[in-house]
Amino acid sequence: MVDEPTPEQVAEQIRQIDVADLLLSTVTTLGQLAYVKLGANERDQARLAIDGVAALLPTLEGKADEQLLRDLKQLLANVRLAFVSSGAGKPEPEPEPDAGPETEPETAPEPETAPEPETAPEPEGEPAPQAAGEADAER
């Protein structure tokens, strides 16, 4: 029978994890996964893995071995090249940062008629009616 760790033991193991090491492992896994997905012609999945590597690498600057970072940047460049090559030279457009799903933005429908102005336009050729105080001032 295998003893399962207690919640306290799990919490202690989590506290001991070095985040930079976890990020390095994640970047490496995503790089490998990108190649596997390209091989399976799952371009959307490959693109997501590539974007994940590209997003995580800058967070490791100054927190990981410089040679290892150079190797991972080279991995990113190579998998991007493989991605473009797998699309018969037709690269997919870069998504806009923080862009949501590729749908047209929702806009309010334009009114069919222009809204009525707050004051009605003056009829041409007729003098404008004057307020009672204005008529007295002219006399």
CA triple 50-55-58, angle to 5 deg:
125
C-beta of residue 98 within 8 angstroms of C-beta of residue 61: no
Residue 123 forms part of a structural domain = no
pLDDT 10s digits, 112-134? 444 454 444 454 554 555 555 54
- How many domains in the chain? 1
Query: 3-class secondary structure for 112-126?
Result: CCCCCCCCCCCCCCC
Residue 34 forms part of a structural domain = yes
What is the structure's pLDDT at 87? 84
Residue 36 forms part of a structural domain = yes
Residue stretches of the chain with pLDDT short of 50: 89-91, 99-115, 117-121, 123, 126, 134-135, 138-139
Residue 15 forms part of a structural domain = yes
Residue 56 burial (CB count, 10 A)? 16
What is the structure's pLDDT at 117? 46
Structural domain range at position 50: 7-86
User: What span, in angstroms and rounded, lies between the C-alpha atoms of 13 and 71?
Assistant: 29
Q: Please state whether the predicted TM-score (pTM) of the whole model is above 0.85.
A: no
Residue 139 forms part of a structural domain = no
C-beta of residue 25 within 8 angstroms of C-beta of residue 54: no
Residue 98 forms part of a structural domain = no
| Listed residue (85, 83, 93, 71) closest to 27, CA to CA | 71
C-beta of residue 61 within 8 angstroms of C-beta of residue 106: no
What is the structure's pLDDT at 69? 97
